[in-house]
Amino acid sequence: MSQGLSSNVTPNRAQSETRPNNVSVGSGPKGSRRRGVALAVAAVLLAGALGVGVPYYLYTLTHKSTDDAFITGHITLIAPRVSGHVVKVFVEDNQWVEEGEALVDLDRADYEAALARANAMLQTSRAKLETAKAGLALISITANAGLDEATAAVKVSESAVESARTRRSSATTRLDQAQAAVAADKASVEESRAAVAAAEAQAEYDEGNLKRYQEMFAGGAITKQDMDHATAVTRVSRANLETARKKVTSAEARVAQSEAAARGASDGLREAESQLAEFESSRAQAGARLQSAKSAPQKISVSEAEVHVAEAEVEGARAAVHEAELALSYTTVKAPRPGRITGKTVRQGSYVQTGQALLAIVPADVWVIANFKETDLTRMEPGQPVSISVDAYPDEVFQGRVDSIQAGSGAAFALLPPENASGNYIKIVQRVPVKIVFEPPPDLTRFRLAPGMSVVPTVDVSVHPKAPARPRPTVKEPDGKGDRSLLPVGPQGCFAQKAPVPFSASAKPETPS
Q: Taking Cα atoms as reference points, which of 446, 436, 453, 451 lies closest to residue 360?
A: 451
CB 410 within 8 Å of CB 432: yes
The CA angle 422-423-427, to the nearest 5 degrees, is: 95
11 or 115, which is more confident: 115
Percent share of the chain, pLDDT over 90? 35
Q: What is the pLDDT of residue 292?
A: 64
Q: What is the pLDDT of residue 487?
A: 42
* Cβ within 8 Å of residue 235, ≥6 positions away: none
Q: What is the pLDDT of residue 477?
A: 47
Which of 266-280, 281-295, 463-477 has the largest mean confidence? 266-280
Rounded to an integer, what distance in angstroms lies between the CA atom of residue 93 and that of residue 362? Answer: 11
287 phi/psi in degrees, rounded to 5: -65, -40
Number of domains in the chain: 1
Return the amino acid letter for 256: A
Rounded to an integer, what distance in angstroms lies between the CA atom of residue 465 and that of residue 381? Answer: 8
Asked if the structure places residue 127 within a domain, the reply is: yes
The domain spanning residue 287 has which CATH number? 1.10.287
513 or 370, which is more confident: 370
DSSP 237-289: HHHHHHHHHHHHHHHHHHHHHHHHHHHHHHHHHHHHHHHHHHHHHHHHHHHHH
What counts of helices (H) and strands (E) characterise the chain?
Answer: 6, 18
CB 299 within 8 Å of CB 292: yes
DSSP 461-477: TT-----PPPP--EEE-
Strands (E), 21-119: 63-65, 69-73, 76-78, 84-89, 96-97, 102-106
pLDDT digits (tens, 9 = 90+) for 220-277: 778 888 788 888 888 888 888 788 778 778 877 877 877 787 778 788 777 877 877 8
Percent share of the chain, pLDDT over 70? 80
Neighbour order of strands in the sheet with 474-476: 474-476, 483-489, 494-498
374-409 burial: b if 16+ Cβ within 10 Å, else e: eebbebbbbebbbebbbeebeeeebebbbeebeeeb
CB 472 within 8 Å of CB 440: no
Task: Using the predicted structure, report yes or no on whether residue 57 has a pLDDT greater than 50.
Answer: yes
- 3-class SS letters over 375-434: HHCCCCCCCCEEEEEECCEEEEEEEEEEEEECCCCCHHHCCCCCCCCCCCCCCCCCEEEE
Q: What is the pLDDT of residue 482?
A: 46
Rounded to an integer, what distance in angstroms lies between the CA atom of residue 17 and that of residue 296? Answer: 153
Task: Using the predicted structure, report yes or no on whether residue 496 has a pLDDT greater than 70.
Answer: no
- Tally of CB atoms within 10 A around 230: 20
3 state SS of 339: strand
* Domain around 307: 114-325
Q: What is the pLDDT of residue 156?
A: 81
CB 472 within 8 Å of CB 486: yes
Tell me the mean pLDDT in the region 107-114: 94
Asked if the structure places residue 8 within a domain, the reply is: no
Asked if the structure places residue 295 within a domain, the reply is: yes
Average per-residue pLDDT in the chain? Answer: 79
pTM of the entire predicted model:
0.50
* Cβ within 8 Å of residue 413, ≥6 positions away: none
Tell me the mean pLDDT in the region 291-314: 80
Tell me the mean pLDDT in the region 354-372: 93
pLDDT digits (tens, 9 = 90+) for 389-417: 999 999 999 999 999 999 988 888 888 88
Bridge partners of 362? 340
Rounded to an integer, what distance in angstroms lies between the CA atom of residue 51 and that of residue 63? Answer: 18
Q: What is the pLDDT of residue 438?
A: 94
144-179 burial: b if 16+ Cβ within 10 Å, else e: eebbeebbebbeebbebbeebbebbeebbebbeebb
CB 240 within 8 Å of CB 153: no
Alpha carbon of 289 to those of 104, 139, 156, 309: distances in Å? 56, 11, 13, 18
Task: Using the predicted structure, report yes or no on whether residue 490 has a pLDDT greater than 90.
Answer: no
Task: Using the predicted structure, report yes or no on whether residue 2 has a pLDDT greater than 60.
Answer: no
Rounded to an integer, what distance in angstroms lies between the CA atom of residue 331 and that of residue 452? Answer: 32
CB 116 within 8 Å of CB 102: no
306 phi/psi in degrees, rounded to 5: -65, -40
Q: How confident is the model at residue 489 (pLDDT cuts 50, 70, 90)?
A: very low
Rounded to an integer, what distance in angstroms lies between the CA atom of residue 15 and that of residue 11? Answer: 6
Task: Using the predicted structure, report yes or no on whether residue 145 has a pLDDT greater than 80.
Answer: no
Tell me the mean pLDDT in the region 122-132: 92
* Cβ within 8 Å of residue 350, ≥6 positions away: 85, 86
Tell me the mean pLDDT in the region 76-95: 94
Asked if the structure places residue 333 within a domain, the reply is: no
331 or 170, which is more confident: 331
| Radius of gyration from C-alpha coordinates of the chain | 53
CB-count exposure of residue 244 (10 Å: 0-12, 13-18, 19+): buried
Return the amino acid letter for 272: A
pLDDT digits (tens, 9 = 90+) for 155-166: 788 888 888 788
Task: Using the predicted structure, report yes or no on whether residue 9 has a pLDDT greater than 50.
Answer: no
Q: How confident is the model at residue 433 (pLDDT cuts 50, 70, 90)?
A: very high
Asked if the structure places residue 378 within a domain, the reply is: no
Rounded to an integer, what distance in angstroms lies between the CA atom of residue 225 and that of residue 117? Answer: 82
- Tally of CB atoms within 10 A around 216: 14
Task: Using the predicted structure, report yes or no on whether residue 424 has a pLDDT greater than 60.
Answer: yes
Of 135-144, 173-182, 247-256, 336-345, give the lowest mean pLDDT range.
Answer: 135-144
Asked if the structure places residue 185 within a domain, the reply is: yes
Rounded to an integer, what distance in angstroms lies between the CA atom of residue 107 and that of residue 84? Answer: 6
Asked if the structure places residue 186 within a domain, the reply is: yes
Q: What is the pLDDT of residue 497?
A: 41
Task: Using the predicted structure, report yes or no on whether residue 135 has a pLDDT greater than 80.
Answer: yes
Task: Using the predicted structure, report yes or no on whether residue 475 has a pLDDT greater than 60.
Answer: no
Q: What is the pLDDT of residue 29?
A: 65
Rounded to an integer, what distance in angstroms lies between the CA atom of residue 271 and that of residue 277? Answer: 10
Q: What is the pLDDT of residue 5?
A: 38
Q: How confident is the model at residue 370 (pLDDT cuts 50, 70, 90)?
A: very high
Of 304-308, 424-428, 462-466, 485-489, give the lowest mean pLDDT range.
Answer: 485-489
What length is written for the chain?
513
Q: What is the DSSP code (8-state) at residue 134? A: H
Rounded to an integer, what distance in angstroms lies between the CA atom of residue 203 and that of residue 230? Answer: 12
- Tally of CB atoms within 10 A around 472: 14
Tell me the mean pLDDT in the region 139-144: 70
Q: What is the pLDDT of residue 500?
A: 41
Q: How confident is the model at residue 503 (pLDDT cuts 50, 70, 90)?
A: very low
Asked if the structure places residue 317 within a domain, the reply is: yes
Q: What is the pLDDT of residue 397?
A: 93
